[in-house]
Structure formats: C-alpha cells, structure tokens
Amino acid sequence: MTEPGRLPKWVDYGLLPALNLLAALLLAGGIIRLMGESPVAALKLLADGAGGSPESIGYTLYYATNFIFTGLAVAVAYHAGLFNIGAEGQAYIGGLGTGLVCLAVGHWPFWIVLPLAILAGAAGGAAWAFVPAWLQARRGSHIVITTIMFNFIASALMTYLLVNVLIRPGQQSPETREFAAASFMPVLPFFGAPLNLAFVVALGVAALVWIFIWRTRWGYAWRVAGANPSAAVYAGIHPDRVTLGAMLLSGALAGLLGLNELMGAQHRILLDFPGGAGFVGIAVALMGRNHPVGIVASAILFGALVQGGSQLSFDMPRVNRDMVVVIQGLVILFCGALEHMFRAPLVAWYRRRLEQSNPQSAIRNPQS
C-alpha cells in the first residue's frame, strides 16, 4: 500500500498501465505471428474496429457502459475490503427488475419509467447481494464463495422464469415479449450503434460513486473498515454494517446493467444477457485502481477490446473468437496479475531520476 505513493500519479495511472497494455499486445502479436497472420495488420484491424468510425466508437462505448456499471460495483465492495465476484448474478437479477418495470408500465411516459427502472434495477441487484452480505456479516461465510454460488442460483432462477413464466407464448425462444416502444432508452444520435442514454447514466453514477467514497463520512468509514477492520472497530465503525451497506450498493450498481443491455439494446429480457460483464468488471476495477476515473477509462479499453476483437475475427477469420478471448486474457493477466512486474523497475528508475535531479547532481548534469 505504501508503494504507489513513491511514484507520481502520471506514472502510476498512466505509464504503468500503458506499459502493461503494450506488453500484453506484444505477446498477443507474437501469437498471431505464430498463427501465420500479420500482427501489424491484426492490430490495425483491432484499433480500426474499436475506434475507426463513429459506429465502432458507438459500439465500444456501448460495451463499455456495461463494464462501467459492473466495474464500479466491484470497486465499491473492494474499498470496504470485500471481493464481490457476484456482479454477474446481481446484474442478471437487477435486469429482471428493470425488465419487469418495462413490461408492466412501459407504455407510461419515459421520464416516469426511467426512474422506476433505475430503482427496480438497483433494488434487484441489491437484493441479490443482500444474502451473501448478510451471511458474511453475521455468519462469516466467505463472500467470494457465496457470491459465486449466487451467480449460479441467479442463472437457474432466470432460466426457470424465462422458460416457464415470462416466455412470450407461441414460440421457442426463452425470452419475454418486446417492451413498449415508449420505454426504450433513447439512442444517442450520430453513432449509428446501440449506444444510448445509459452511457450518460453510467458516467453520472461514476461521479456519484467518487463523491460517495471520497467525500462522505460513510465512504470514509467503508474505506477505513476495508483497510483495517480492527482499527475501524476501535474508531467506532461497525464492520458488519459496512459489509451490508457496501454489498447492497455494490449489487445496486451491478443491477443497473439492464438499463443499457435491456432497455437500451435488446428491448426484452433474454437468457444470459449480462454475458460475462460481471466478471469483466473485476478486471476493469483492478485495472482502474478502483477509482471511478480509472474504471471509466479501463471500461472503455475493455469495450474497445470486445468491439475491436469482434471486428478482428470478422475480417481475419483465422483469428477466431477464442483467440480474441486470449488477447483479452493477456491484457487482464498483465494489468492485474503481473502488475508488479514493471512496478519495481519503474520505482527504481524513478528514484534514480529523483537523485539525479537534486541540486548537486543538477550542477553536474545540467541537461537533466
């Protein structure tokens, strides 16, 4: 925890992730070379596919919207010392809430439906996070295990509901009828992609999370409890309440994914709509250093990888979808697990630079 302080912010938040990303892309390029394709052409396709046209930028930001919600969810729990692996299930059940609002009262004016849908999504996600949180706080059941299990329970519940209860009659596909058109999230013009108002909501939510974590007493209490539970108790903070509160907020944030995916794009509830965004959110939070600005940035990076990757496999059939997952995996590996690989040399390099730039060495070496 002391190490980041030794590096200036631009190195910690800019240079280091850039180096990690570069290393991941180099390795991925090597693998593409082994497959007999040109790594340069592949990288160009990837970059072009992610940001080469308004449409591809729109898709990148559309995917990023999901990752912002789940990344914030993971980060909020992380600040309170909790590792929430259950964003996937919370997003699934949150989406159920959003979807049910749209199915029930979707014909109402949009500006009434929207707050209801946000509330229902947040409530669904929070409800799904509540049980693991309660078990952790009162029974000490480890949150990692219980949230993983709740992902499976969520998916079993949703399969049951979509196959038996909510299915649109007279067809095979386990999905609901289409929402009323009035409840569709307005699509942002110009892009020609499903990028919609939910992206703006996500940015607003990111700002609110920043205010909450760093500018309120509650946020402070959560961070204290996360950093040192015994010190928190000594300071009069109840760790149980922090666990419950942080997980409820975390689940609520994940639950908003339905705003983008269901209200914004699919316009119906369908099987497995979170599509792994809950797990990508873990990588997004890790890479974004659990800071809303970092999370938005890394969510856009992951959105670009998804969108650029799908373009890559579209135009270069030999790089199939599994290869795209490998590239994404390498980015996660380098930015998460191997993060310290470049940190130690960078810290050493920076210390040397500091020594060089003190007055004595400055005289000896004026150009530095």
Partner 1 sequence: MKLLRLLAAALSVATVATAKEFSPAIVYDFGGKFDRSFNQSASEGAERFKRDTGIAFREFEITNAAQREQVMAQLAKRGSDIIVAVGFTQASAVERVARQFPNVKFTIIDAVVDLPNVQSINFREQESSYLCGMAAALASKSGKIGFVGGMDIPLIRKFALGYVEGARHVRPDIEVFENMTGTTPAAWGDPTKGAELARSQFGRGADVVFHAAGATGIGVMQAAMDEGKLSIGCDSNQDYLHPGSVLTSAVKRVDVAVYKAFSDARAGTWKAGQLVLGLAEDGVDYSYDEHNRGILTPAIKARLDAAKADIIAGRIKVPEYRAP
Question: Counting contacts by CB under 8 A, is residue 270 touching partner 1?
Answer: yes
In the region spanning residues 39 to 68, those forming contacts with partner 1, defined by CB under 8 A, are 59, 62-63
Please give the Cα distance from 85 to 95 (Å, whole number): 17
In the region spanning residues 126 to 185, those forming contacts with partner 1, defined by CB under 8 A, are 152, 155-156, 158-160, 163-165, 167, 169-175, 178
- Given the complex with partner 1, which of 137 and 300 has the nearer CB atom? 300
Specify the 3-state DSSP secondary structure of 187. strand
Please give the Cα distance from 158 to 166 (Å, whole number): 9
Among 261, 292, 316, 342, binds partner 1 (CB under 8 A): 261
CA angle at 119 for the pair 113 and 121, rounded to the nearest 5°? 95
Closest CA to 298 of 19, 24, 67: 67
Among 35, 268, 279, 336, binds partner 1 (CB under 8 A): 268
Question: Counting contacts by CB under 8 A, is residue 238 touching partner 1?
Answer: no
- Maximum distance among all alpha carbons in the chain? 84
Question: Sign of torsion, CA 219 333 304 84?
Answer: negative
In the region spanning residues 309 to 338, those forming contacts with partner 1, defined by CB under 8 A, are 310, 313-314, 317, 320-321, 324-325
Question: Counting contacts by CB under 8 A, is residue 189 touching partner 1?
Answer: no
Q: Which residues are CB-contacts of 366 (< 8 A; sequence separation ≥ 6)?
A: none
- Given the complex with partner 1, which of 127 and 270 has the nearer CB atom? 270
Distance, C-alpha 18 to centroid of its chain = 19
Please give the Cα distance from 112 to 4 (Å, whole number): 45
- To partner 1, the closest distance from the beta carbon of 49 in angstroms equals 10
- Given the complex with partner 1, which of 14 and 276 has the nearer CB atom? 276
- To partner 1, the closest distance from the beta carbon of 273 in angstroms equals 6
- To partner 1, the closest distance from the beta carbon of 299 in angstroms equals 15
Closest CA to 121 of 225, 22, 18, 198: 198
Q: Which chain residues interact with partner 1 by CB under 8 A?
A: 59, 62-63, 152, 155-156, 158-160, 163-165, 167, 169-175, 178, 193-194, 261, 265-266, 268, 270-273, 275-276, 306, 310, 313-314, 317, 320-321, 324-325
